Chains A and B, each alone.
Chain A
Amino acid sequence: MKTAVVRIAPPDTSFAEDKDYAREVRTAQLLPALERGDAVVLDFQGVRFATQSFVHALIGEALKRFGEAALDRIEFRSCSEQLRSIVDLVVDYSLGGFSSSEPSGATQGGGQEPR
């Protein structure tokens, strides 16, 4: 299994909030690597803060499509304390759901149904 290192470096800022950038990383690098069966290192060196929307746009679809097994192949490198909490939060609701919302529907792309 190969490992792809993906540097998360939103332009000109240490505050990652640009969902367009997150979407680009997701569709061009993260999802293709996971679909090939590779492991992925998401390297957040230089990012101090991120929004939940940014992290969701980055990893939410991967968790949806590959379920909990995605966590075996994604490594989160150089995360600040705030980033760790946001990643944990996004993973929690992506795999477990919020209690107030509807159960997650059909998965996209024929991937594994999250629990």
Chain B
Amino acid sequence: MPRFRVPNSASLHTARFLLDSNHFFSARGRWATFELHPRWSHMEPLALAMGAAWGAWCRRNRYEVRVVNSGPRARYAARMRLFDHLGVPFTAGILEHEEAGRFLPVTQVSDGASLRSVMADISALLHLEHDSETLAAVQYCVSELLRNVLEHAASADGAFVCAHNFAAKPPHRVSLAVVDCGCGIREHLSRTHPEAACDDAAAIGLALRPGITGALPGMYGAPDNAGAGLFITRCIAKGSGGYFLVASGNAGYRLRRASDDRQQEILLEDPLAERHDMWQFRQAWQGTIVALEIRTDHIGDFNEYFAWIRRNTPRRAAASRKVRFT
């Protein structure tokens, strides 16, 4: 049966264990089990968005979801609306005196209208009204990642997004995740890049390079897609000193902090040339998971990120004409 077992720590930093120790999409039986740790589970947006996407997949495929260990220690997951997406009532009560806000609960985004609604709510929900640089970075990443799903993932349930602003103690960061149970990167890219069809790791490696899109052959001609969204999102994560993860099918890539400050300031076109982890999982995630951290204490001037990205983005030839700004 489909089974989603949450270890006692389920975050971007412990993602490998979470992804490698589950049989998320097993086809047997009529029950699906979501199992929380019996004593305590620290769930970050990555795990919450995954759980919600998985719950939607289970319900769409007529599995009856049951939750194991949904006691009082699961209140945070309940406040993040995970149980709503699992279709299971949470009966242990929700403590309202926990940290007031600073999170975007798991939200399903299935069209442009729901995306715009999320974008409008981010500032207030994450308490970023007075931190315009972090707000811009978060809005940027959320928009690009959600539009990727809506335009490319062929996901019947759309995307699930979740974010939390960890502001109480260092490292200060916004952790966010966008997850779907759609076609996955390999299937999407293999239509235009046959080399992506061989395995999930190759497909992820391609997807993280600038200029690679599955939208149409010979990009730049695609009026609405340049294939730069994931590349720029990983650049923003690197620029702020945060982690970045993409998992799809049987593979997962995680960008780590560079080993020294000088390397941290350099963008590399090839994601495999960055300091990273590349994992192979025994069981596949049917769809795509993207999670990242934006270090709010390192964000600096968001305006400068794009000049930095432009300086560091390899081009075949520089345009000789200057753009006219007035």
Which residues of A are interface residues toward B (Cβ below 8 A)? 12-13, 15, 17-20, 23, 26, 41, 48-49, 51-53, 56-57, 60-61, 64, 68, 71-72, 74-82, 84-108, 114-115
Contacts and interface: CB of A to CB of B under 8 A. Distances in A.
B119 A76 contact: no
Given A18-B116, A105-B221, A51 B316 contact: no
B131 to A, nearest CB: 14
Contact of B314 (A18, A86, A98): A98
A59 B316 CA distance: 20
B326 A86 contact: no
B112 interface: yes
B139 to A, nearest CB: 5
The majority secondary structure among interface residues of chain B is loop
Nearest to B193: A102
Contact of B136 (A15, A72, A90): A15
Contacts of A114: 220
Contacts of B319: 68, 71, 91-92, 95-96
15 contacts: A17-B147, A20-B112, A57-B223, A71-B322, A81-B307, A82-B306, A92-B319, A96-B316, A97-B316, A98-B228, A100-B212, A100-B269, A105-B220, A106-B218, A114-B220
Contacts of A61: 223
Nearest to B316: A97
B219 A71 contact: no
B136 A49 contact: yes
B217 A89 contact: no
